[in-house]
Amino acid sequence: MSEENIVTCKCCPVFCRIRPGQKGACLRYENYNGEVRRTIPLVRYDAIKEVAIDNDQPITNHELQPEITGIGSGTTYPDYKRAPFIVQYEESGVEVVTVVSEVPLSYCGMEIKLDTDEYIGEECAKVYSEGVQVGFVAQEQYGSKMLSLGGINLIKEKKSGLKTVLLMEAIANREKVEVQIERGAHLEFRVGEAPVINGKKIQKMRVGCGSAAMALFAYPFREAADEVIVIDSDLTAIYTEHPVGKDLASGFSGIHLKFRRSSPGRYFGDDGEGWGGTSIQNPVDVISYIENIQDKEGMTILITEATGERSALFQVQRGKLIEIPLTPQASRAVQLIQENCEPSRVSALFIGGAGGSARVGVASKPLKFTEAVHQGKVKMTSGGAPVFIYPGGGITYLVDVEKIMKGSFGWIPTPAIVAPIEYTMPLDLYLELGGFADSIVPLKELRDPVVFYQKP
């Protein structure tokens, strides 16, 4: 085949040589009639706006909506190039500019939230994918386990860098992935679905810690048994000692728990693969001892997890605890817990540092531009989704990947994640920040194919 028909893609450091009708290694660029072209067209929103604006009042920058996204736009790589699309349009009488690109971000990471009280491993334990470290177990949040993936120090490592980027791209594009926790669990998950931990699909997210459950179901618990214990790895609670029970119960049952006491009726649980994410495998093992047990014949004790997935009812018979079937009152209390638990699911937040490559193509005054972003004068979005800008220097942002169209993230072998970014602002501000006036194109004159989709 003639060399004249082969094009060299310069959108990343690989410089793929692409034959006619073929795609590059990343599958994001193709040889189209002798030109390098993005394999999907530019994506924009439909004309329906989320915010109703009074035509008699000027819009604020918080109300500005990007008419186009960075999805399908192409990149600024190598980084001296201007953004591939700088468009101008009118928004309720105000001339607006949106600048978009698909930006290579070496400074990037992900926070993964798994809604479960199941034990996955110790905090700070390493997270592995295909035998290399890609992150660590972060601090637990309320009812959820957290993973912190990526970051420049893992991405720049020879062994872990590319695999870390590929894992994050797969997660962001809502593909199924697997990771292994150091001395911990094997996880399978996809954003938006229930996680699978050591082969077990997790069904429920706890309604609250054991102490919160006492308050939420105080009256049903009073009818369920003489004593109720909610086993939880954070705070295990016992009803008659808890402030709730002191008000509603007839008196302390005399039952003492094995865990370390935090405050009356509240005990710090441990971590493990047992009930409530603790080490307790047999529910009665949570009890250290019962005062004067010989005098408590017939006393009933309901023990449950904060999800209600496992529960058991015991009765003191001849000085021993004997398991008995759940009474209708106990069953109702457990059912209420289950009914008020949310489904377990996985969420992911992408964190990107928009450095030189993300700003050089926008305007010629990067410091003033950065200040305008932090001041809210420039509205930043990612794939059209709202972002949170971290305070302090630079432009470090966080975005919920579920609010971005599937398949919007890419990668390059530097390695780095390629993410869609949009900056929207009034035209006069754009020019004040050193915007490239000679590159502005009216929205209605865009020649490239444009795909419309509604906001997530």
Same domain membership, residue 177 and residue 133? yes
Count of structural domains, the chain: 4
Q: Is 235 part of any domain?
A: yes
Q: Is 285 part of any domain?
A: yes
At 362, the pLDDT band (50, 70, 90 cuts) reads very high
Q: Is 47 part of any domain?
A: no
Residue 49 has pLDDT above 70, yes or no: no
At 357, the pLDDT band (50, 70, 90 cuts) reads low
Q: Is 44 part of any domain?
A: no
At 360, the pLDDT band (50, 70, 90 cuts) reads confident
Q: Among the three residues 161, 186, 203, which one is the final residue of a domain in this structure?
A: 203
At 329, the pLDDT band (50, 70, 90 cuts) reads very high
Residue 50 has pLDDT above 60, yes or no: no
17-26, 30-39, 54-63, 131-140: segment of lowest average pLDDT = 54-63
Q: Nearest-CA neighbor of 224 among 326, 111, 344?
A: 326
**Cα–Cα distances in Å, from 113 out to 116, 138, 258, 345?**
9, 10, 30, 8
Q: How far is CA 410 from the centre of its chain?
A: 18
Q: Among the three residues 203, 219, 240, which one is the final residue of a domain in this structure?
A: 203
Q: Is 347 part of any domain?
A: no
**In which domain, by residue range, is 269 found?**
210-338
Q: Are 404 and 169 in contact (CB under 8 A)?
A: no
Same domain membership, residue 187 and residue 93? no
Kindly report the average pLDDT of the chain as a whole number: 91
Mode of pairing for the β-strands spanning 300-305 and 260-263: unpaired
Residue range 160-188, pLDDT digits in tens: 999 999 999 999 999 999 999 999 999 99
The rounded distance, in Å, linking the Cα atoms of 226 and 382 is 54
Same domain membership, residue 141 and residue 78? no
Same domain membership, residue 64 and residue 9? no
Question: Which of 442-455 are b and which e, b meaning 16 or more Cβ less than 10 Å from the residue's Cβ?
Answer: ebeeeeeeeeeeee
Same domain membership, residue 445 and residue 406? yes
Residue range 96-113, pLDDT digits in tens: 999 999 999 999 999 999
| Confidence at residue 61, expressed as pLDDT on a 0 to 100 scale | 63
Amino acid at 13: P
Q: Are 188 and 176 in contact (CB under 8 A)?
A: yes
3-state secondary structure 375-419: CCCCEEEECCEECEECCCCCCEEEEEHHHCCCCCCEEECCCEEEE
Entry field: residues in the chain: 456
At 444, the pLDDT band (50, 70, 90 cuts) reads confident
Same domain membership, residue 197 and residue 238? no
**Cα–Cα distances in Å, from 228 out to 20, 239, 315, 316, 416?**
71, 5, 12, 14, 52
At 53, the pLDDT band (50, 70, 90 cuts) reads very low
| Confidence at residue 52, expressed as pLDDT on a 0 to 100 scale | 30
Residue 455 has pLDDT above 90, yes or no: no
Q: Is 61 part of any domain?
A: yes
Same domain membership, residue 275 and residue 238? yes
The rounded distance, in Å, linking the Cα atoms of 97 and 82 is 14
Q: Are 421 and 356 in contact (CB under 8 A)?
A: no
Amino acid at 167: L
Between 52 and 231, residue with greater pLDDT: 231
Which residue do the tokens 């939880």 mark?
Answer: 232
Helix (H) or strand (E) holding 149: strand 144-150
Same domain membership, residue 86 and residue 58? yes
| Confidence at residue 80, expressed as pLDDT on a 0 to 100 scale | 79
Q: Is 346 part of any domain?
A: no
Helix, strand, or coil here: 177? Answer: strand
Same domain membership, residue 284 and residue 199? no
Q: Is 380 part of any domain?
A: yes
What tokens were used for 9? 């893609």
Same domain membership, residue 270 and residue 227? yes
| Confidence at residue 447, expressed as pLDDT on a 0 to 100 scale | 66
Same domain membership, residue 296 and residue 182? no
Q: Among the three residues 149, 172, 203, which one is the final residue of a domain in this structure?
A: 203
Between 62 and 254, residue with greater pLDDT: 254
Same domain membership, residue 143 and residue 99? no
